[in-house]
Chain A
Amino acid sequence: MTLLLVALGAAVGAPLRYVAAHLLDGRLHHGTILVNVVGSLLLGIFSGLALGDHAMALLGVGFCGALTTYSAFAVQAHDRGPRLGAATVLLTAVPALGLCALGFWLGAQL
């Protein structure tokens, strides 16, 4: 049951990431950066809300987990050379970590 919820959430999150990257990625991968940041914010909110196991499997592990990606982030950061690579890392990691913490705080207020 839980596995099915994870699969269902991911079956929505992964194609959303693909569409964002397909439409927005250029020399800098704006689409991938955007989904990684938004997914981190959402997971922060869901964790702050202390969702139940089933909701967390669907929305957290499945949807946010598949909406975001570390593998494409690492490949894009590495293969774009030092300047664009550093920009990719900074534009991803700083807002992702900051907004995740903000999202957790927001979720915990509700």
Chain B
Amino acid sequence: MTPRHPLHLTVLLAVAVGGALGACARYGLTTWFEQGPGFPWTTFAVNVSGSFLLALLPGIPAVRRQPLLPPLLGTGVLGGYTTLSAWSEESRALVADGSAGLAALYVAGTLAACLAAVALADRWSTPDARHEFEDEEGDL
């Protein structure tokens, strides 16, 4: 909810390091599974898997014991791993290529799949754990 703590340099650094690692993982996957024309499967898989993993974190005791781990792993690694800007740009490119139907499918499909992944992962955590995890700034 509203921030209760001041900005800490260690948290900022943890998010920077985690974000760099996550972005490199995303870049590695997109070069490994090179995207051809059509549905952007790699970004889709990255965003769905990242959303699932982020929603799993509040239920993992080992993550919750160290105050730096939620921002490092959630806000940093998984925030850097998933991306909304590529989703926007890929959708625009599909429309520009005359595939408006596929763009609509991609936009709605990513949203639906990511929300479903979060709903599934939420079965392994309690609402209390999720609120605490948010206060620990793990999912920003």
Contacts and interface: CB of A to CB of B under 8 A. Distances in A.
Interface in A24-79: 25-27, 29, 31-32, 36, 39-40, 42-44, 47, 57, 60-62, 64-79
A78 B122 contact: yes
A65 B85 contact: yes
Given A19-B7, A26-B2, A74 B114 contact: yes
Interface in B82-123: 82-89, 91-93, 95-96, 107, 110-111, 114-115, 117-119, 122
Interface of B: 1-3, 7, 11-13, 15-24, 26-28, 30, 47, 50-51, 53-55, 71, 74-76, 78-89, 91-93, 95-96, 107, 110-111, 114-115, 117-119, 122, 130, 134, 137, 139-140
A39 B85 contact: yes
A71 B53 contact: yes
A57 to B, nearest CB: 7
A8 B81 CA distance: 14
